[in-house]
Chains A and B, each alone.
Chain A
Amino acid sequence: MATTLTREQQRQNTPDRPKPGGRPGAVGGHRNWLAGVAGWLWLVVVVVPIYWIVITSFKEQSSYYITNPFAPPAEPTLGNYGMVIEAGFIGYFVNSLIVTLGAVIPAVLVAFMASYAIVRSRTGWFLRSVNSLFLMGLAIPLQATIIPVYLIIIRLHLYDSLLGMILPSIAFAIPLSVLVLSNFIRDVPKELFESMRMDGATEWATLWRLAFPLTRPAVVTVAIYNALTIWNGFLLPLILTQSPEKRTLPLALWAFQGQYSVNVPAILASVVLTTLPILVLYAIGRRQLLSGLTAGFGK
């Protein structure tokens, strides 16, 4: 064991990417076999269901029952996918896209403006109370407010509409977005704000021309976090919509499953299909997506 440890320690000293802040990449003397076992075990726990989902989604329903579940399909078929698309999933995909973009873009913009105001003004009682209000919003499970939200949406005549899902999604995204964005705006050197002010720029101009570009990674992170939350959201569509053509993907998935509960390959094809867009994004920008997922919790 001792020799492996030294060898691994040496390997640790060659981090696979530079670390900001000059701290050495790995934590020294920190190899432990228990963590190693956990690491490989977890890999199995994650990979087995995912492998099963993917191969099964290409099997014929008839062959699904008689073949080994872990054997790849003898005659792969796209029939299940065809069935899912015929069930209207393209429309649900468009709905999800509209709701997600329609909520994330305004949420991030208004949260950014609010964060800027909160950071730049240290004295105003108004902005300080606004900040406390948003912080309070973090401690409260917003799902608990769903009944009044339902009532409000009905009264606004927005029940069973995409806009009806967008508006509460914007509100629910604001507290965490403000918290993360204001932490990043706080890191922008004061001198830069001062020099903008000297040049006669208004706060509005400073906001968009200085603060926004300088904190763009944080903006992207927050946008991704919110987009994933809204894309995967289930409760709001469940409560605020009724007609099948207004469904977003998670709700459509649930309805599809209720309808074809014995057709396992078709259900799994619907799972793969609804997850595909996120997996593509994950492949393109894994690092951004992961930092977006923790939204600065452990930057």
Chain B
Amino acid sequence: MSPTATPTTARGSRNGGLAWLAVPALVFFVAFGVVPLVGVLALSFTTWDGIGDINVTGLTSWQAVLSDPGLPHALWVTFLVMALSWAVQTPASLLLGVFLANSQRYRAVLAVVYFVPLLLSSAAIAITYKALLDPNFGLGAGLGIDLLVQDWLGVPELAFGVVIFVVSWQFIPFHSLIYQAGVRQIPKSMYEAAELDGAGRVRQFFSITLPQLKYTVITSSTLMVVGSLTFFDLIFVLTEGGPGDTTRVLALDMYKRGFQANLMGPASVIAVILVLVGLVLALILRRLGGRDATHSQMEGA
């Protein structure tokens, strides 16, 4: 069956016999991962409308994007979404993770419901909330509660809040799953020892649970922060970056420049910036954790 590798061949050729097994995966990944990554850098030095010919125009696109006040705005919005969604999700996921880690039957039942948002597509979630928050046809209008009848997606501050809320609604279950697993790994004896020493519950939480979850926090934060760069579909369906440019994050900025304004050159510049931001964030988080992000992702595995 195998073209190579018999048990008696020397080490070197045995590796040669193994190497071909990695080739199919490598081909796919190079063709649609590595080549596009290099390609996006190359395209950032061109002018292309997405249909016609691609012309090399040097730094034109870079100049256009870097002098555009839209870029600092998009960076700022991306940062805000990242920071606020982190600040909302982390304490909530931590608490829920702790809550779920204690195995009890009713919690197991609750967990069935808890994780439903994880299964829905971002498009479905965004569409639901759009309908639910509609000032004329939504929940608030139906209930007749004036406080809920707001132009939720039309007022900048409210729209921003809605984006953070919906992001949290979608991703808190995922992160509570990670925290739940982390909490379960903490040896019970540590709490027993703390109890003997007379440590209260709050003290136990801050002296045992939180320090023990250090790598879980880093894992979850890495996924949240790097993941927030790719909140495209949710924001696209929910607000399309609006009102105005209030929620126009980098990923959306890239799409709008490229596929709506047909400026693939500047859109590629944004894409390169997106990759750089992602790498810088991964490096910072790795520093913070003192471990490789990819390793901390496998925490407990």
Contact = CB atoms under 8 A, between A and B. Distances in A.
Contacts of B167: none
Contact of B268 (A133, A139, A147, A152): A147
Interface string A30-43: 11101110110011
Contact of B18 (A127, A145, A172, A235): A127
A229 B74 CA distance: 26
Contacts of B255: 146
Given A250-B121, A297-B297, 7 more contacts: A35-B99, A133-B26, A141-B251, A144-B271, A146-B36, A257-B237, A271-B120
Interface stretch (A73-81, A83-91, A106-114): A106-114
Interface stretch (B65-73, B79-87, B152-160, B172-180): B172-180
Interface in A271-288: 271, 274-275, 278-279, 282, 286
A72 interface: no
Contact of A250 (B123, B169, B205, B274): B123
B77 interface: no
Contacts of A228: 119
Interface of A: 11-12, 15-17, 19, 23-32, 34-36, 38-39, 42-43, 45-47, 49-50, 52-53, 64-65, 67-70, 107, 110-111, 113-114, 116-118, 120-121, 123-124, 126-127, 130, 133-135, 137-152, 167-168, 170-172, 174-175, 178-180, 183, 197-198, 200-205, 207, 228, 231-235, 238-239, 249-251, 253-254, 257, 262, 264, 267-268, 271, 274-275, 278-279, 282, 286, 289-290, 293-294, 296-299
Given A42-B96, A298-B178, A139 B294 contact: yes
B221 interface: no
Contacts of A39: 95-96, 99-100, 107, 110
A171 B29 CA distance: 5
Contact of A42 (B34, B39, B114, B259): B114
Given A35-B99, A232-B121, A298-B181, A151 B259 contact: no
Contact of A25 (B6, B103, B278): B103
Given A23-B188, A175-B29, A268 B195 contact: no
Interface string B159-187: 00000000001001010011111111111
Interface of B: 1-2, 4-7, 11, 14-22, 24-26, 28-29, 31-37, 39-40, 43, 50, 92, 95-96, 98-105, 107-108, 110, 112-124, 127-132, 134, 137-139, 142-143, 169, 172, 174, 177-188, 191-192, 194-195, 201-202, 204-205, 209, 216, 219, 223, 226, 229-230, 232-233, 236-237, 251, 254-255, 258-259, 264, 267-268, 271-272, 274-275, 278-279, 282, 293-294, 297-301
A235 B236 CA distance: 10
A183 B294 CA distance: 12
Contacts, number: 379
B184 to A, nearest CB: 7
A35 B96 contact: yes
A175 to B, nearest CB: 7
Q: Which 10 A-B pairs have the closest CB atoms?
A: A148-B39, A298-B181, A171-B32, A232-B121, A69-B142, A204-B2, A148-B36, A145-B36, A234-B233, A202-B2
A179 B294 contact: yes
B224 to A, nearest CB: 12
A268 B264 CA distance: 35
A130 B127 contact: no
